[in-house]
Amino acid sequence: MKKLNLIAAATVLTASTSVFAEPMLIEDWNFIAEGGFDDWTSEGSGTNPVVSSGSSSDFGPSILTTGSLPDNLCWGDAVTPAGQSCLGINSPVDQDSTQTWDDDGDLVDINGGAPQGVAETVGIGGDYTTAFKQGTALRHDNFPVTGEFLDTVTIRNGIRLEAVLPAGATVSAPELEFLVDFWETPNVGLDSDGTCPFGPDSGTVGSINENGCSDIFKIIGFEDGDGSDLNIVDSGPGFIDFSVKFTVAGVDASIWHTDYELITRLSGLDVVFDDDNVGFATRERGVNVLDAQIVIRAVEAPEPSTLAIFAVSLLGLAGLSRKRRQ
């Protein structure tokens, strides 16, 4: 009977431990997002090689492990008065940012001209699609060029989060690396027959290939800074959502929930799926913008097994029993 009572008491203690161990979510975050270009290669030859400029941190302190990187690349001998082809990143962006690029590459207000505000945490399993905050954006000024072309480039993106409460809790989310194979496609089509690698034939009115075959950013490396593949959580014709998980250190885990995921949505361009790779198509003779938005969602914290908690409870009650006998 005593053993049965002991087991019953341990069960109650185990249940009560589970009930009262619900830490609070860190609800609001100040943030900064920074992105730049690293390790690019080119092919072909001409009078205008790939040239970098700008600063991902606006020439201030950088959150990237590499330090500040160029946020603009241009290349090729221009064929039209519009100029060269260029890639640019709108960086850095934070909770105080008021503008971003629209689909035409023009700066527009994010929040009616006011700062966009802090990132708010979505609960475990909650719908995150209405909680996005503006991150960096990638712009491709896609104009006809000859000579030297961009071949590959690594886009490096970092995000630093600072909790509003508890004050001082700062997290650098896993730094993302996108190794991009840039395909400067022939405007007249593959083998000059009008066939484009994505979409309808070159010159098809009203299509992405109306002004020539669209160029393609093929993401051949899709990893976080630790070399782990990113988790694609959702996708559609014009967007991809992927996530990386992170843990908040340096806070009392009995008070604050410490396990979260950073979800990033890339949108604004046609998504191209090719075998195990994913990419984006950009129309010729125009400005193309790939937008990046971010949201934070809580995830389930790893828990010790029920058996382990039960065993600890038994040990605690056994200790109490020995004290009573003494």
Q: What is the pLDDT of residues 261-295, one digit of tens each?
A: 999 999 999 888 766 667 889 999 999 999 999 99
CA of 4: how far to CAs of 9, 184, 323, 324, in Å? 9, 75, 19, 18
Scanning the structure block, which residue is given the tokens 């000859």?
A: 146
**Within-domain flag for 315:** no
What's the total number of domains in the chain?
1
- For residues 56 and 88, the answer to whether their CB atoms sit within 8 Å is no
pLDDT value of residue 209: 94
Q: How confident is the model at residue 189 (pLDDT cuts 50, 70, 90)?
A: confident
- Residue 199's domain spans which residues? 25-305
pLDDT value of residue 75: 96
- For residues 38 and 176, the answer to whether their CB atoms sit within 8 Å is no
CA of 181: how far to CAs of 56, 153, 243, 268, in Å? 21, 7, 22, 19
Task: Determine how β-strand 176-183 pairs with β-strand 215-224.
Answer: antiparallel
AA identity, residue 148: E
**What would the pLDDT profile of 163-172 be if each residue is shown by its tens digit?**
999 998 999 9
Q: Pick the range with the lowest mean pLDDT from 174-178, 195-199, 312-316.
A: 312-316
pLDDT value of residue 17: 47
Continuous segment of H or E residues that includes residue 319:
helix 306-325
**Within-domain flag for 6:** no
249 contacts: CB under 8 Å, gap ≥ 6 = 171, 258
Judged against a pLDDT cut of 50, whether residue 217 lies above it is answered with yes
Q: How confident is the model at residue 226 (pLDDT cuts 50, 70, 90)?
A: low
Q: Give the separation between CA 15 and CA 324, rounded to whole angstroms.
A: 24
Q: How confident is the model at residue 105 (pLDDT cuts 50, 70, 90)?
A: very high
What are the beta bridge partners of residue 195? 190
Q: Give the separation between CA 232 and CA 286, rounded to whole angstroms.
A: 29
**What would the pLDDT profile of 292-322 be if each residue is shown by its tens digit?**
999 999 999 876 544 444 444 444 444 444 4
CA 325 distance to own-chain centroid: 60
**Within-domain flag for 63:** yes
pLDDT value of residue 201: 94
Q: State the average pLDDT over residues 84-96.
A: 97
99 contacts: CB under 8 Å, gap ≥ 6 = 107, 108, 109, 110
**Within-domain flag for 106:** yes
Q: How confident is the model at residue 323 (pLDDT cuts 50, 70, 90)?
A: very low
Mean pLDDT taken over the chain: 85
Length of the chain: 326
Q: Give the separation between CA 246 and CA 258, rounded to whole angstroms.
A: 8
CA of 264: how far to CAs of 71, 230, 234, 295, 300, in Å? 19, 10, 10, 7, 19
At 35, list the tokens: 């992105």
Cα–Cα nearest to 91, from 53, 36, 141, 133: 36
CA of 291: how far to CAs of 46, 238, 271, 294, 310, in Å? 31, 11, 13, 10, 49
What dihedral do alpha carbons 88, 91, 97, 99 form, nearest 10°?
0
pLDDT value of residue 178: 86
**Within-domain flag for 4:** no
Q: What percent of the chain has pLDDT over 90?
A: 65
**Within-domain flag for 11:** no
**What would the pLDDT profile of 6-55 be if each residue is shown by its tens digit?**
444 444 444 444 445 689 999 999 999 999 999 999 999 989 999 999 99
- For residues 227 and 259, the answer to whether their CB atoms sit within 8 Å is no
**Within-domain flag for 10:** no
Judged against a pLDDT cut of 80, whether residue 227 lies above it is answered with no
Quickly count: other Cβ atoms within 10 Å of residue 18's Cβ: 12
pLDDT value of residue 273: 74
Torsion-angle region of residue 275: left (phi > 0), alpha (psi -120 to 50) or beta? Answer: left
**Within-domain flag for 276:** yes
pLDDT value of residue 129: 96
- DSSP letter, residue 72: E
Q: How confident is the model at residue 95 (pLDDT cuts 50, 70, 90)?
A: very high
